Structure 1
Amino acid sequence: MLDTHARKYVQPVIGRTADLFLKWKLTANQVTAASFIIGVTAGLWIYFGMPWLAVAVLWLSGYLDAVDGSMARKTKSTAFGTVMDVTFDRLVEISVILGLAFLFPEVMWALLLLSVSIIFSMTVFLTVGAVSEQKGMKSFYYQAGLAERTEGFILFTIMILFPSILLYTTLLFLAVEVFTGVQRMLEAKRILGRAEGGGT
């Protein structure tokens, strides 16, 4: 939701960073890789008791992830760049969940359910994008939802910095992800059904 509605407020800063990186002759894929390398360490910092560092690298990774998209739009995006971007985003999230699960095994069951809910929501997101593209849309269809990446980062930050309420935050995150998955399913039925002439 925030990615969709609040992006316009931070896009000028993101755009200037993208211009700077392009001036330095960096490519969008290189920034994607850097974003991944930085972000995937978050789980390690969580496990080793450095929560503020974990949050810092998580948000830096997220910022670079936004910058690489702007770079791709300013140059020429590639299909493999999209694959890298989506895959690396999920691996960063997995890193955070694993770090929390190993540090707080008593809530591992809730973190496991959270992982399942993320898989559910992302499966709907990616499948709708794929079938929409087959129907002739110009680019990968982006489904907005209650939980987008910024909401996830906010909830991850609370989970990392306030472990005393980790269980409750995880369950909240779980509920938000399930809601988003269902929301996207219903939207997909409406959009794709309309494209097929009202079929199911």
Structure 2
Amino acid sequence: MLDTYGRKYVNPIINTFAKILLKCRCTPNCVTTISLILGIVSALLIYWDITIPGVIILWISGFLDSVDGAMARIIKKSTSWGTLMDITFDRVVEMAVIITLAIKYPNSQLLFCFLLCSIILSMTIFLTVGALSHNNGIKSFRYQAGLTERTEGFLFLSGMVLFSGVRDGISILFTIAIIITALQRMLEAKRILDK
């Protein structure tokens, strides 16, 4: 939701960084890869209880995930390969953080399992609708907005890392929010695909 409705407010910052990186001869795919590496580094830092730097690096990873797409649009070189990298690497970063938490907190593993299952469900709907419908946005694929998008995901993940006393509650709320998003996407898919 924040990605969809708040993007216009942060686009100037994202576009400025995109232009700077393009001037430095970085490619969008290079930035996507850096975003992945930083996301994995953040999971390692979280595992080693270096939590605040881990969360900061996670957010830098997420920021670069927005910058890479802006770079591709600026140079008009959005590619299917870049889209595949972007979506796949996003999930790898999320999985790395959630699996790290599951390893660190074995008593909460069932909750983390439900969380991962909800992400798989929501992304399956998201990707299937993208494959079966016409793209009507600026991205290289059909983007289905929902209650829980990448920014909300990062907020929930950050909360789970930083507030250990309520980690399980945050995990449950995150799972419920993703299931609501999956249902939103399913209803939208029925409207789009039944035409």
- TM bucket, shorter chain: over 0.9
Which residue number corresponds to residue 20 of structure 1?
A: 20
Q: How far does residue 11 in structure 1 lie from its aligned partner after superposition?
A: 0.5
In 2, distance between residues paired with 1:102 and 1:53? 19
Q: How far does residue 37 in structure 1 lie from its aligned partner after superposition?
A: 0.5
Which residue number corresponds to residue 126 of structure 1?
A: 127
Q: Percent of aligned positions with the same letter in both sequences? A: 51
In 2, distance between residues paired with 1:67 and 1:126? 21
Q: How far does residue 99 in structure 1 lie from its aligned partner after superposition?
A: 1.0
In 2, distance between residues paired with 1:186 and 1:63? 30
Deviations 1:70-109 (A, max 9, x none): 0010111111000100000000000110111111110010
Structure 1 residue matching 2:133: 3-state secondary structure: helix
In 1, distance between residues paired with 2:27 and 2:46? 30
Q: TM-score, normalised by structure 1?
A: 0.93
* Contact residue 2 and residue 148 of structure 1 kept, 8 A: yes
Unaligned runs of 5+ in 2: none
Q: How does 1:103-122 map to 2 (within 5 A)?
A: 103-122=104-123
* Contact residue 41 and residue 95 of structure 1 kept, 8 A: no
Unaligned runs of 5+ in 1: 195-200
**What RMSD over aligned residues (CA atoms) do the two structures have, in Å?**
1.2
Q: How far does residue 68 in structure 1 lie from its aligned partner after superposition?
A: 0.3
Which residue number corresponds to residue 66 of structure 1?
A: 66
Deviations 1:18-53 (A, max 9, x none): 000111111100000001001112221111111101
Which residue number corresponds to residue 46 of structure 2?
A: 46
Structure 2 residue matching 1:41: 3-state secondary structure: helix
Larger Rg: 1
4+ runs deviating over 4 angstroms: 136-139
